[in-house]
Amino acid sequence: MPVRKHGQHMKLFKNKGKDETTLRRQRVEVSVELRKAKKDEQILKRRNISIHSKEEDPSLGQDRAAEIVQPSLEEIVEAVNGEDTQLQLLATQATRRLLSRHKDPPINQIIELGIIPRMVEFLGRADNATLQFEAAWALTNIASGTSEHTRAVVEGGAIPAFISLLSSPHMHISEQSVWALGNIAGDGPIYRDVLIARDVIPPLLALVSPATPVGFLRNITWTLSNLCRNKNPCPPLDAVLKILPVLVILLQHEDKDVISDSCWAVSYLTDGCNDRIQVVVETGILPRLVELMDCPDLIVMTPALRAIGNVVTGTDQQTQEAISAGALTVLPRLLRHSKSVIQKEAAWTLSNIAAGPSHQIQQIITCGLLPPLVELLDKGDFKAQKEAVWVVANFTTGATVDQVVELVRSGVLKPLLNLLLVKDSKTILLILDTISNLFLAAEKLGETEKLCLLVEELDGLEKIEDLQNHENDMVYRAALDIIEKYFSGEENINLEPQTGQDGLYDFSVEKQDFNF
Amino acid sequence: MELSDANLQTLTEYLKKTLDPDPAIRRPAEKFLESVEGSQNYPLLLLTLLEKSQENVIKVCASVTFKNYIKRNWRIVEDEPNKICESDRIAIKANIVPLMLSSPEQIQKQLSDAISIIGREDFPQKWPDLLTEMVNRFQSGDFHVINGVLRTAHSLFKRYRHEFKSNELWTEIKLVLDAFALPLTNLFKATIELCSTHANDASALKVLFSSLILIAKLFYSLNFQDLPEFFEDNMETWMTNFHSLLTLDNKLLQTDDEEEAGLLELLKSQICDNAALYAQKYDEEFQPYLPRFVTAIWNLLVTTGQEVKYDLLVSNAIQFLASVCERPHYKHLFEDQNTLTSICEKVIVPNMEFRAADEEAFEDNSEEYIRRDLEGSDIDTRRRAACDLVRGLCKFFEGPVTGIFSGYVNSMLQEYAKNPSVNWKHKDAAIYLVTSLASKAQTQKHGITQANELVNLTEFFVNHIQPDLKSATVNEFPVLKADGIKYIMIFRNQVPKDQLLVSIPLLINHLQAESIVVHTYAAHALERLFTMRGTNNATLITASEMAPFVEVLLTNLFKALTLPGSSENEYIMKAIMRSFSLLQESIIPYIPSVITQLTQKLLAVSKNPSKPHFNHYMFESICLSIRITCKANPEAVGSFEEALFLVFTEILQNDVQEFIPYVFQVMSLLLEMHKNEIPSSYMALFPHLLQPVLWERTGNIPPLVRLLQAYLERGASTIASAAADKIPGLLGVFQKLIASKANDHQGFYLLNSIIEHMPPESVDQYRKQIFILLFQRLQSSKTTKFIKSFLVFINLYCVRYGALALQEIFDSIQPKMFGMVLEKIIIPEIQKVSGQVEKKICAVGITKILTECPPMMDTEYTKLWIPLLQALIGLFELPEDDTIPDEEHFIDIEDTPGYQTAFSQLAFAGKKEHDPVGQMVNNPRIHLAQSLHKLSTACPGRVLSMLSTSLNAEALQYLQGYLQAASVSLL
């Protein structure tokens, strides 16, 4: 995991190696997932089933059903490979129909027929627009399947054919090609880069104009987003530089789907190294993204938040750009959003801002983020709570003493200590580190004793004591460390001489008021 | 070693010998085995023996030896030789699983442990077949085998519960899930089926339930890091079955044992854990199942008995409810008045009852009882769980819950009143209920800090607590006595002072109780009351209020130490210390008797010091006796020396390590009490204190330095005249200390005392050497701590010997040294000096350099004059610079100045802060102004012109303020 740049304050803390991990975190910490794949993310590949779906409906009138005689697979192979254009069209249409049915399209069987190269040939039949269109549609749906399916289409030679069809005089053919290319690009970085190398971008961008119908524009935007998508490697810089200006325009569109996919595209472009973030920042798009982050529609808010979240994994300066664009004024609402996924993403974003220098932390306070943060720690869903813990951990690492006091005053301690019961070693360790940071601040103020009492009152002490039995070595040592440093010498503090007329024990330290 | 019968025979004989009670036989055999364990085939010979030996004892012994061998040798440590040859490794991995599965249970457990140790290193990459091999056994239908596999899997997978998320870990878990989750689910279903087909077969059921427990544990491990896709898809199967297992009962599975949890209890307890895991981490997915589990667990609680064997189950189950009822979106599950009443009545109240087991602990294992009850190490107890549930419910339903419980409290008290000797436990439960209901936040130091306002604590105290404590018979109903005392203790901040004063004689009276718990609580309660603070930060309870009770208090406290079981009772000793500290001079009449008893105690425990807290408070009490008495009558110090030195000598002679740091501290205190020359008895000891062996123990260093400082303060001239030959030894100690980053500050303490007190001529010949030593350390390994101490020292030197002497000695070591130190150390670092006295010393020293050092005015050093003045004004006015350079963090953690032996620093042996410039300079700012005035009179015009040309404006403004305050002006 690349560790983000961090401020001077790191020097003040021990075990630096460990603390660095609490700073800026990119989205993907662990690439292996145990969970079900996320359902709410943007779709990678799509099948074209929207039109003519009635053809499959068995409840249709008999006359209609009779009109369409579905040939057998053998007949299809024969016709496609034959020379009769009419039969070619009927067979291609039949194939497309099979691939467009709602349930279980027989993609594997069609591939096994070996007719893909022939279909690719049909794409070049400028004389027969209908055949071109049917072949394009069928290939689109094959490419929408697994990686293996997509590969079959690519290896059939479809890429150059589709790219040249982008400039087809027939809009529906051009649109279908955009779709097919989107599916190919969505397969992963290899085919994406093959497309880019084949110069897919200029003809694609040429399709965007004020006159482009909304439906078509949605398809283009989605395909563009797939061209921006995926890492290892990320898309070539010159391609990105070509796409970005168009994305900036598309983000101003009024259609939600267009905006949503544009936001996703930006979120992919910002999900990487700081140089890439810089490229996006320089377009001046951040204020618009922040505005969209506040949009009531989940399909817009989610990718916009994601994009801003990615930006703040960048340098302090890049983070500052997001802050200046107003990100912190929107985040309080998102932390309180009814969807826990949004709460979680918002908290993740905030955690990276909190990893910044103290003047950025100050803006977190000024923008009123502490109350919703404390609420989230207290009542949020577990995943959101975990992110909230990161916020607090990063905050206490970089904040000034006054800022830490502000944090404690906002009531963070109680929910934080309660979370020590959580069944996740990493979170527990983060909380223990945070508590150590709080004590460091308290020591500077001469308020260690007061913090000790507060921790004990909130039942934190017994939880920390209990963690000395934790199976995880680092957790156990962190707990032990706190107990030894702050809670084992109770008597010495307690025993401080109280009288003092004789001057004998009159050197007790003047205590200031604990201002938490 | 070959795999031969002869070798098997030899090994058998040596294994047998390792079981011999006679160390003369056992040790050489163990040595022999260690010497051959590096040979090839050794582990295989052990495996052969544990499988085929004729004697069972050899089989078991071989299996244990094998496991320990694996534990010591299996891991391959980088840069170290591989301790097990590759072919043995392969053979072990190929054979161990079937061998484990076919072995009797005793051996199976050892081999299972061995597998998990190997697995920790080799699984999954270097042991790819393990999972398949295990899963295949699920089909065997033999539950002895299946349980072996499950146990092994559990020991392999349980680390998923506490390890940090990482790609490596998750890849492994994913691999395990892919191979294991479905077979485990099928096994789970099949086992449950079998449970119903064998519902009447007790022995089959036992095996099957052992499997279910292991399966439930595996579920917990596999679901811990995140909710796996497989388990999300199969949640219905698992949760429905878990739910029905929670409600299952079968007479055949009930055990007669009251203590040990049976299979059914263990299974249900694990299911509660599983449900709690899902409720906490996967709330969104688990929500549809949660209400069912709440009902089932609640019913479980209502129907589960009081026996100890159910404790873990009950406390887990209650904790589950407690964690759920606090969450806003489950509030509705508890809201109904009937539900609340039912939970209070059937779950909380029964689990608060004082049980036979508690009574047993109270009487026979009081130390443990006190630890649990007083110090809160009761996390897993039923009472504690019930208490947490009360607090959880009070979050949303404080009013109704308080109302419901008030009724119960009253009826329980009525029951008690009807027949106290039979029904005393009802009152105990009532007190416990009131306590848990009323306390919202608690600390050891202050007791309850936030109370439920709906409970009238004082009224309950007056009506129900005090009467018990007023009873003439201190030994009647000891549990209720302990409850009452504890009530005072924890609600001491809520009960009004007049009521506390009424309680004090009652508590003193209970110091005589035979029950260890009761007299310990009484001592502890008194101790806590004596530390309470009233207005003006003074103690709440004053010495004069205690006047009538002094004699009986001291008598009873010391008598309590003679009660059976309490001869080293730390609570009592702490109460003694606290009483001394509170009562001050009113204890003087009793000191002769007190000090006799304390010395006797000291003599007794020094034979075998075992209770560090007790010992610590004992020494504190001794210190207090000395301070209080000598304050009134300094001459009395002699009688303390007389009483103590004999025991101290014995401690030093017998080298009782735990006590030596204490002895030095008490001796320092005694020596500091002397007003005149140092007594000869101390001087006789002086050479011994310089013995290197004493300085090797880090715990001795701080108190010994302190003691030597006391010697220097009181007897510097005696040392110079009568022990001049010891001065190099003394400086040797300084050198030893200065060499260590951890102890250098102690070295400076010593050096400062030497410079301050020793007659100059006696150290003259060593001075240059001292500085050279310091410069070397400065050059080779300077730390912030060292620099701070160094700055204080050179300024102290300057104050004592004059600025010119300082400049001369520096420049005599190396030309221009003085300027270099000024420029590189003093000016840039002076801001780091902390501590009022330390800053003052530096201020006075620098003032001297500025105003009493001619080379500063007329050599190349002159250019440093303004920067130095600027730095001095900075020292006066700027906040302390507490930044620490990067590389020093690690030093600080390990070598923090302070006492290494945890309990050795005695607060009441505390040293008076010493200000070596106190008499000379009162206000260093004014002193600077006056000194500058003097300088400007000597060379008119020069000071002013330097100031006006180069001092920055802000500093100049401060300086003008000082001049004004001193009513002087510059010429």
CA A360-A362-A365 angle, to 5 degrees, is 120
* Res. A57: pLDDT tops 70: no
* Res. B884: pLDDT tops 50: no
Q: Chain A: nearest CA to B782, how far in angstroms?
A: 18
| pLDDT reported for residue B377 | 58
Residue-wise pLDDT for A61-100, tens only, equals: 444 444 567 888 999 999 999 999 999 999 999 999 999 9
Tokens of B266: 């263990």
Q: Which residue has the higher pLDDT, B14 or A445?
A: B14
CA B468 – CA B480 distance, rounded (Å): 7
CA B221 – CA B219 distance, rounded (Å): 6
| pLDDT reported for residue A16 | 33
Q: Are B969 and B963 in contact (CB under 8 A)?
A: yes
Give the model's confidence band at A509: pLDDT under 50 very low, under 70 low, under 90 confident, else very high.
very low
Q: Is A249 contained in some domain? A: no
Residue-wise pLDDT for A446-470, tens only, equals: 788 789 888 988 889 889 988 988 8
Tokens of B135: 């899963």
Contact assignment for B225 to A340 by CB distance below 8 Å: no
CA B756-B757-B760 angle, to 5 degrees, is 85
| pLDDT reported for residue B330 | 87
- % of chain A with per-residue pLDDT over 90: 68
Q: Residue B600 carries which side chain, given as an amino acid letter?
A: Q
Q: Is A448 contained in some domain? A: yes
Q: Which residue from A minimizes the CA distance to B441?
A: A457
Average pLDDT, integer, range A370-374: 97
Average pLDDT, integer, range B97-113: 89
Tokens of B503: 């309680």
Separation in Å, CA B542 to CA A505, B581, B676, B696: 18, 11, 35, 45
| pLDDT reported for residue A66 | 46
Q: Residue B361 carries which side chain, given as an amino acid letter?
A: A
CA B141 – CA A460 distance, rounded (Å): 48
Of B167, B227, B531, the CB nearest to A494: B531
CA A229 – CA B692 distance, rounded (Å): 71
Q: Residue B427 carries which side chain, given as an amino acid letter?
A: K
Q: Which residue has the higher pLDDT, B785 or A287?
A: A287
Phi then psi for B451, rounded to 5 degrees?
-120, 155
| pLDDT reported for residue B487 | 94
Burial class (CB in 10 A: 0-12, 13-18, 19+), B14: middle
Give the model's confidence band at A14: pLDDT under 50 very low, under 70 low, under 90 confident, else very high.
very low
Average pLDDT, integer, range B532-548: 87
| pLDDT reported for residue B900 | 33
Residues from chain B contacting residue A466 (CB–CB below 8 Å): 379
Contact assignment for A457 to B228 by CB distance below 8 Å: no
Of A16, A340, A429, the CB nearest to B284: A340
Q: Are B899 and A484 in contact (CB under 8 A)?
A: no
Q: Residue A251 carries which side chain, given as an amino acid letter?
A: L
Contact assignment for A503 to B173 by CB distance below 8 Å: no
Q: Chain B: nearest CA to A473, how far in angstroms?
A: 9
Please enumerate in sequence order all residues whose Cβ is within 8 A of that of B315, keeping only pairs 6 or more positions apart, or say none: B380, B381, B382, B384, B385
Task: Quote the DSSP letter at residue A469.
Answer: T
CA B271-B272-B274 angle, to 5 degrees, is 60
Average pLDDT, integer, range B288-310: 89
| pLDDT reported for residue A103 | 84
> Which residue is it, tokens 């479980």?
B300
Residues from chain B contacting residue A14 (CB–CB below 8 Å): 889-890, 892-893
| pLDDT reported for residue B875 | 93
| pLDDT reported for residue B380 | 66
| pLDDT reported for residue A447 | 83
| pLDDT reported for residue A326 | 95
Tokens of B627: 């301070």
Residues from chain A contacting residue B616 (CB–CB below 8 Å): 491
CA B268 – CA B246 distance, rounded (Å): 6
Using the Cβ of B177 and the Cβ atoms of chain A, whether some distance falls under 8 Å is answered with yes
Of B232, B889, B902, the CB nearest to A14: B889
Contact assignment for B379 to A495 by CB distance below 8 Å: no
- % of chain A with per-residue pLDDT over 70: 84
Domain that holds residue A460: 326-488
| pLDDT reported for residue B779 | 78
Give the model's confidence band at A27: pLDDT under 50 very low, under 70 low, under 90 confident, else very high.
low
Of B162, B224, B227, the CB nearest to A470: B162
Contact assignment for B907 to A16 by CB distance below 8 Å: no
Tokens of A311: 């930006």
- Helices and strands in chain A: count of H runs, count of E runs: 31, 0
Q: Is A313 contained in some domain? A: no
Q: Is A383 contained in some domain? A: yes
Give the model's confidence band at A26: pLDDT under 50 very low, under 70 low, under 90 confident, else very high.
low
Counted residue by residue, chain B has a size of: 971
Average pLDDT, integer, range B943-967: 91
Residue-wise pLDDT for B317-363, tens only, equals: 988 998 888 888 888 888 888 888 988 888 888 888 888 888 888 99
Residues from chain B contacting residue A425 (CB–CB below 8 Å): 162-164
Looking at the structure of chain A, the number of domains it has is 1
Q: H-helix or E-strand containing B526?
A: helix B516-530
Q: Is A423 contained in some domain? A: yes
Give the model's confidence band at B73: pLDDT under 50 very low, under 70 low, under 90 confident, else very high.
very high
| pLDDT reported for residue A5 | 28
* Res. B384: pLDDT tops 80: yes
Contact assignment for B441 to A466 by CB distance below 8 Å: no
CA A267 – CA A304 distance, rounded (Å): 7
Contact assignment for A491 to B159 by CB distance below 8 Å: no
Give the model's confidence band at A56: pLDDT under 50 very low, under 70 low, under 90 confident, else very high.
very low
Grouping H, G, I as helix, E, B as strand and the rest as coil, residue B442 is strand
CA A400 – CA A388 distance, rounded (Å): 19
Look up the ipTM and state it: 0.70
Q: Picking from A207-221, B182-196, B447-461, which range would have the lowest pLDDT averaged per residue?
A: B447-461
DSSP calls for A9-63: GGGGSS-HHHHHTTS---S-S-S---SPPPSSSPPS-----STTGGGG-TTS-HH
Average pLDDT, integer, range A297-321: 95
Q: Which of B655, B654, B685, B653 is nearest to B667 (CA)?
A: B685
Residue-wise pLDDT for A262-298, tens only, equals: 999 999 999 989 999 999 999 999 999 999 999 999 9
Q: Is A514 contained in some domain? A: no
* Res. B426: pLDDT tops 80: yes
Q: Are A195 and A235 in contact (CB under 8 A)?
A: no
Q: Is A288 contained in some domain? A: no
Using the Cβ of B913 and the Cβ atoms of chain A, whether some distance falls under 8 Å is answered with yes
H helices within B674-700, ranges in order?
680-689, 692-696
Residue-wise pLDDT for B722-779, tens only, equals: 888 888 889 888 888 888 777 888 899 999 999 999 999 999 988 988 898 888 888 7
Q: Chain B: nearest CA to A293, how far in angstroms?
A: 24
Give the model's confidence band at B562: pLDDT under 50 very low, under 70 low, under 90 confident, else very high.
very high
| pLDDT reported for residue A38 | 59
| pLDDT reported for residue A254 | 93
Q: Which residue has the higher pLDDT, B533 or A356?
A: A356
Average pLDDT along chain B: 88
Using the Cβ of B164 and the Cβ atoms of chain A, whether some distance falls under 8 Å is answered with yes
| pLDDT reported for residue A1 | 25
| pLDDT reported for residue A4 | 31
| pLDDT reported for residue B881 | 66
Using the Cβ of B836 and the Cβ atoms of chain A, whether some distance falls under 8 Å is answered with no
Give the model's confidence band at A13: pLDDT under 50 very low, under 70 low, under 90 confident, else very high.
very low
Average pLDDT, integer, range A467-483: 88
Residue-wise pLDDT for B595-605, tens only, equals: 999 999 999 99
Q: Are B593 and B560 in contact (CB under 8 A)?
A: no
Q: Picking from A20-34, A372-386, B401-415, B816-830, which range would have the lowest pLDDT averaged per residue?
A: A20-34
Residues from chain A contacting residue B532 (CB–CB below 8 Å): none
Specify the CATH number for the domain of residue A399.
Answer: 1.25.10.10
Q: Is A417 contained in some domain? A: yes
Average pLDDT, integer, range B630-649: 92
* Res. A2: pLDDT tops 80: no
* Res. B455: pLDDT tops 90: no
| pLDDT reported for residue B343 | 87
CA A229 – CA B702 distance, rounded (Å): 65
Residues from chain A contacting residue B889 (CB–CB below 8 Å): 13-16
Phi then psi for B270, rounded to 5 degrees?
-65, -35
Contact assignment for B283 to A458 by CB distance below 8 Å: no
Half-sphere exposure of B210 (CA within 13 A, CB side): 15
Contact assignment for B445 to A453 by CB distance below 8 Å: yes
Average pLDDT, integer, range B848-859: 92
